[in-house]
Structures are given as C-alpha cells and as structure tokens.
Structure 1
Amino acid sequence: MDDFSPSDLKTILHSKRANMYYLEYCRVMQKDGRVLYLTEAKNENQYFNIPIANTTVLLLGNGTSITQAAMRMLAQAGVLVGFAGGGGTPLHMACEVEWFTPQSEYRPTEYLHGWLQFWFDDEKRLKAAKTFQQARIHYLQKVWQKDRDLKNEGFEFNSEQIQSALNTFHIRTDAASKQSDLLLTEAQLTKVLYKYAANNTNAAEFKRQHQPDKNNINKANDFLNHGNYLAYGLAASCLWVLGIPHGFAVMHGKTRRGALVFDVADLIKDAIVLPWAFICAKENATEQEFRQQVLQAFTDHKALDFMFDTVKGIALQDYSTHDIEAQNL
C-alpha cells in the first residue's frame, strides 16, 4: 500500500474529527502506510489501527513507545502527541513543551493577525477575556439543557442555586477592570459548581485536589484531572490548526505558561468534564469508562466545533470599529 500524502490525510477538518486516544503498554508504529499500535497478548501480539485522518490528539501513557516513522505520519495528519502518566495524568512535558505539534508553518495566518490586533491592547484583551467567560456560560446552558443524562442526574441549569451563582458571575464579570478580577470570579463560580455537583452525587465531603489520589479514595478529583487534560488536548489542537501560539492568553497569562490552551479548554470544562467526573465517581467507574463517557460527550455536544467557532469569532472581529462580540454562539 502506498503512503498517503499530507493532503490526503487532512481531508477531514479538525473541527469535525471524532477521535482522541490514550494508549498505554503498547508500541506505536507505522506499517503498510498506516499507524498501528501493538499490544502483547498472552499467546500472540495484536495490532490495532489508529485512524489518524480522523484523530485530533494521541496521549501516550505508561509503558509506551513510538517510532520515528509513526511520528512522521502523525505529523503529516496534523495529530498532536503528548506523553502522560498513568490514566492520562499528569501530562509530562519534554523541554517544557506541552504538546509535540506538527511543524507545518503552512497554516492560516489570518487568525494570528486578528488575534494580534487586540492582544497588545489591555482594554481589548480584557474584552476578549470577558467574551470567553460569556461563551463558557452559554455552552454550559446549551449542554445542560440538552443532555438528558445530566438532567437525570440532577444537573438542572435553571436550578435556583445555579441561577443565583450565574447572576453574581455576570455582574462581577461585567464590572471587572482587570484579568485578576475575572480569575477570582471564575474561581468563585467553579467552587459553586463543585458544591452543586457534590451534593447531586452524594459526595458532600469533596475537596478539590490537583494531585493524584494514590489511595483512590476520591475518584472525582482524579476524573477531573483526567478530563481536564482531554480538554487541554482539544484546545491545543484547535490553536495549532488556527496558527495561534499558546502564549497569547487573555485570562491565565500571568499565572501559567502556554496559557491560551487553558483559556480555550475552560470553554467546555464546566459543562462536560465537571459533571461527568462526579457522576462517574459516584458510579465507581474505571478510568477507561470515564474517558469513554467524556469523549462521547465531547462528540455529542460538538465541543471542538464550539472551540473553533469561539476562537475564530474573537480573532476575526473588527476591533477598529466595534466592541468584541461572541460569534456563532
């Protein structure tokens, strides 16, 4: 079978790609013009195909290796590759690079040019940050009102507790005069959402911890970490396709390097990762079951499409005559 050309591999738009993979204890290689992963079974080795033309992110966990030929084909297809610990967390970094991104510079430039129109202006950058905050709430509303499974678990967007928190959130967001005000408001809302989710799933003693729980007592924390890394993968893929460097953050720039990835990932974390982390913890799900649930929710609610639409809308806004407005929301 002949090798595909890079143009053949990019026939599926990144915003429409359905797959993210986390692999462990296997070897990723190129064979007959395809990217495969090899696992060692008891009696024989088994090969499984990775449909790279329909894949955004490949996370490699414990006990994995990858060949140079496979990396070349993944780069041609525009697949981001990251190395992670067991269960997808933490994300390990090589030379402080979060993601191994394909080194193609033949990407669109208009989004970077648009981004730079406002990024060096403090006032415009603050307005862009507020747009991100408004967009994440719109997406939260859209997902929670549409998803029957979340409703069955008690996640009601119109509940009094959620609406009260959102009213405060909107007032403080509109009044914010600097990014630190937005970060504080965001943290306060997230705290309410954690409490709401914990009450819904009988996890009243939940306390957020970002370090892995070695005793596996509180699975919700581990699932939150795991799901957040999946969201970071989608965000990194979105930004790579649009040609916008991770350093041009609008929210987290002073607290985290490569922070635009975190800004974009925040668009979907509250709506999808947060509730499913608590639900799956209540059901004592495995890491794989949680991952499958979250990835399916990303697909069902077109999370990557939403990221692309929001980032493109902010980048292409005419900043010379109009205030920033969220596009395609």
Structure 2
Amino acid sequence: MEQLNPSDLKAILHSKRANLYYLEHARVMQKDGRVLYLTEAKNENQYWNIPIANTTVILLGTGTSITQAAMRMLASAGVLVGFTGGGGTPLFMGSEIEWMMPQSEYRPTEYMQGWMSFWFDEAKRLEVAKQFQFARIEFIRKVWAKDRDLQAEGFYLDDQDIIQALTGFEKKIPHQSKVGDLLLAEAQMTKQLYKIAATRCKLSFERNPEQGDLANDFLNHGNYLAYGLAATTLWVLGISHSFAVMHGKTRRGALVFDVADLIKDAVVLPWAFICAKEGMSEQEFRQQLLQKFTEYRCLDWMFDQVKNQSLSYKR
C-alpha cells in the first residue's frame, strides 16, 4: 500500500475538515499506514478506518486506548486528541478535558504575535471581548434566520422574545466598562435563550450541569464538542489557550471557552432542547449536532473571528 507523506495529510485546511470523532470502548491503532479503531463485537472484532486527513478532533471516552504509532500519525496530520469522560463530557465536577496537541515547529507565528500585540492592554482586551460578543449575536441571527428545521420547532428570528434577548444584549455591549459586567450581561442573554428554547420545546428547565436531565446532559455534551472545535482553531492558528479575553485569566484553557461561545448559543443550545424533547439518545444527539456544525461551517466562523481579532491591532 502506498505510504502518505505528512505534507499530504495536511492538504485539507482544518477549517474545511468534516469529521469530529467520539469513541468509547475502542482501541485506536495504526495498521498499514492508516489509523483504525477496533471495537469488540460479541463474536468478532471489527476495524473501522479514521480518515485522519479530513478529521479535526478525536475525543476518547471511557474504555479507550491508543497506540504510540497511531498518535504519531495523528500528530503528523494535525489532529487534536482529547481524553474525556463518558458521552464527551467529564464524569466529575471540576475535571477538565485533557488535550494532546500535535507538536510542530512550523505553525504560523503571525496570529499569536497579533494576539499579544493587544492582550496586555486591558482596554484593547475588553474591546476584543466585545467584538466576540457581537460576532456571537451575528451568528445566532445567521443560523436561526435560515434553518428550516429550527423554524419547524418554533424558533423564528422575528419572534418578540428572541428579538428582545438579542437586541437587549447587543445594546448593552458597548456600555460595559469591565469584563465582569460583560460576562454578567452575556449570562442574562443566555438565560433568556434557555427560557425561549424550553418554552418552544415545552420542557421544564433549570440550567444545572449536574442535574442529570436530558436537556442539561445534551448541553454539557454539545458544549464539549464545541470546545473541541475551539481548541482546534487555536492550535492551528498557533495561539495559546492561556490568553483569554473574557473567561477566568487564571485558568489556562480559558480562551477555548471564549472561542466556543461564538457558536454555542446558535447551534448547541437550541438542538440540546429539541433533541431532549424528542427523547433522543446521546449518539443521535451527537450526530445531529455534528451535522449542524458542518452545515453552518462553525469551524470557518471560529477561524474568521479569531484571525480578524488577532490582526486588528497588529502594526
């Protein structure tokens, strides 16, 4: 079998890659120049190919293992590998997803240097945080305006409660003088969107990551998939996760949360409620969400926003 060069594996831009994998009870290995995962069926073992050149993230859940040779190939293709709890989310409160990042000396320096050109200036950092929030609202409008599936579930962009939630937050953004105030305003909008989604889906809901009901579980699960896309975006652009603009400056991965917020409310939030209403399984929810991530080019949106902001103050 013809062996692929590492340069061939990187031919598909990360923002254009289609696949995000979550695996449970599987062994990931390299065989004949390909990366495979092995599952144990009742009477036989089954091998499945992973198209690594078209994959952004692999999440390894419970009961998984990976070989050194497979990690070497995944690293050469620039695929992020994360170890998570069951269903793509941590099993215990306070535990964090652990990312294994491909190590490359040839990632771009332009975006990290641009990010650092403003990050140490508190006023500029706040301005970038505000621009992220404007982009967040823009993406909600972009997705909800044309998604017929969402409209079939009652999510219409011109409904009064949705207009009020989005425009109310949008008007507050320019007047916030501290990141803490911006976070509070953002939390109020998200709380309104939770209420809107729960009302549309006729669910009783209170946001509590450990509640254990389907809507909360799907929100947790979907958020971690969004974190995978955000971590991929930052790794490809060479920007350290440490330099957040909104979330806790003392938490090393906080910039991942900032970037994931660009798409969470637009895509993860409504579909967590809709799939909970339908009583879907975790696997069905995950498939639905990954389809929507691809349909609305969420990774593209993250790349564009992070690149634009990283270069906005660069001389």
Q: Shorter-chain TM-score: which interval?
A: over 0.9
1:306 and 2:305 matched: no
The reply on whether 1:284 has 2:279 as its aligned counterpart is yes
Q: Give 1:166 shift.
A: 2.0
Give the whole-Å Cα distance in 2 for the aligned partners of 1:110 and 1:132: 20
1:13 corresponding residue in structure 2: 13
Say if 2:174 is the partner of 1:187: no
CA distance in 1, matches of 2:25, 2:102: 24
Specify the alignment match of 2:112 in structure 1.
112
Answer yes or no: is 1:240 the counterpart of 2:235.
yes
Partner of 1:327: none
Q: CA deviation at 1:171?
A: 2.1
The question of 1:28 aligning with 2:28 is answered: yes
Structure 1, gaps ≥5 residues long: 321-329
Check if 1:170 corresponds to 2:170: yes
Aligned to 2:209: 210
Distance, in Å, in 1 between the alignment partners of 2:232 and 2:167 is 33
Instruction: Tell me the distance in 2 between the aligned counterparts of 1:24 and 1:254.
Output: 33
1:254, distance to aligned residue in structure 2 (A): 3.3
Determine if the alignment matches structure 1 residue 156 to structure 2 residue 156.
Answer: yes
The residue aligned with 1:325 is none
- Would the aligned equivalents of 2:84 and 2:98 in 1 still touch at CA under 8 Å? no
User: Counterparts of 1:96 and 1:69 in 2: how far apart (Å)?
Assistant: 26
Mapping for residues 64-79 of structure 1, pairs under 5 Å: 64-79=64-79
CA deviations on 1:78-122 (whole Å, 9 max, x unpaired) are 111111111111179xx9773110011210000011111111111
1:121-155 residue CA offsets vs partner (Å, 9 max, x unmatched): 11111110000000000000000001000011011
CA distance in 2, matches of 1:311, 1:179: 18
Structure 1's 96 and 9: CA in aligned 2 closer, same or farther, altered over 3 A? same
**TM-superposition CA deviations, 1:11-62 (whole Å, max 9, x none):** 0000000000000111100000000001111221110000000000000111
> Percent of pairs identical after alignment?
70
Query: Do 2:209 and 2:216's aligned partners in 1 also have CA atoms closer than 8 Å?
Result: yes
Residues 83 and 91, structure 1, Cα contact 8 Å, conserved in 2: no
Q: RMSD of the TM alignment (CA)?
A: 1.7
Q: Distance in 2 between matches of 1:319 and 1:14?
A: 24
The residue correspondences of 1:43-82 to structure 2 (distance < 5 A) are 43-82=43-82
SS of residue in 1 equivalent to 2:100: coil
Q: Is the 8 A contact 1:26 1:38 kept in 2?
A: yes
Letter in 2 for 1:220: A
CA distance in 2, matches of 1:131, 1:312: 12
TM superposition score normalised by structure 1: 0.92
Instruction: List per-residue Cα deviations over 1:208-236 (Å, max 9, x = no partner).
Output: 111262xxxx2000000000000000000
CA distance in 2, matches of 1:96, 1:25: 20
Q: In the alignment, which of 254, 259, 263 is matched to residue 258 of structure 2?
A: 263
3-state DSSP class of the match of 1:99?
Answer: strand
- Sort the Cα spacing of 1:159 and 1:97 in 2 relative to 1 into closer, same or farther, 3 A: closer
Structure 2 residue runs of 5 or longer lacking an equivalent are none
Which stretch shows the higher mean deviation, 80-89 or 275-284? 80-89
Q: Is the 8 A contact 1:82 1:91 kept in 2?
A: no
Query: Quick check: 1:123 aligned with 2:118?
Result: no
- How far apart are the structure 1 equivalents of 2:240 and 2:4? 28
Q: How many residues align?
A: 314
